[in-house]
Amino acid sequence: MNNEKKFRLGVLGSGKGSNFDAIAEGCAAGNVPAEIAIVVSDVADSGILQRARERGLRAEFIAPGKFRTKLDDDAERAFIEILENANVDLIVLAGFMRILKGEFLRVFANRVVNIHPSLLPAFPGLESWKQALDYGVKFTGCTVHFVDQGVDTGPIIAQQTVPVLAGDTPERLHERIQKAESELYPQAVGALARGEVQVQGRQTIWLSPR
């Protein structure tokens, strides 16, 4: 029997949880050598918490406090405490709709990753698939990146392209991007769990062939 401690993930999300599901599937199938130690949401009735409970995982709601786009100080402290107590090695943002800064990123320096629905640095911020369609690009996609103090600015770990098709609606394009996300995010988290990704400044280096 392998008694080695498993790499522990803390997943944060506010929405339906399709990225969480893809990573949980990857863990269950053994493609992601990690376990989901805890799922935390700022939305009590979010799909992600429901999906986590259905999988028998620890799922916790923490009220975000008085702001709309970030956590207030008490909430930030509560998030830090629950994740520290859960002994997580990596924090995986999966549709978490609050900007994390300051103390949270100091405590978990270089241990927070996110997936964004565009080829960063193009179209940071909200509804990136709409931004891509409005701009008229022929390709967009998704990006897994480390989280730093900026918004969608941290070192890029992996990207996958998605073509913009003639007659695309925002909904159709978003759906195809989400399909790409559910392939890319487990691959990237798997590589991180295996210790195969090194960061050098803004560059990340994959030690395994992709």
Catalytic residues: 116
Nearer to ligand GRF, 20 or 104 (CB): 20
The residue whose two tokens read 């989400």 is 178
Of 37, 19, 36, give the one whose Cα is nearest residue 27.
36
Nearer to ligand GRF, 98 or 116 (CB): 116
Contacts to ligand GRF by CB under 6 A? 13, 15-20, 48, 94-95, 115-117, 178, 181
Nearer to ligand GRF, 87 or 149 (CB): 149
CB of 102 vs ligand GRF, minimal distance in Å: 20
CB of 177 vs ligand GRF, minimal distance in Å: 7
Give yes or no for a contact between 153 and 121, defined as CB atoms under 8 angstroms apart: yes
Residue nearest to ligand GRF (CB): 95
CB of 95 vs ligand GRF, minimal distance in Å: 3
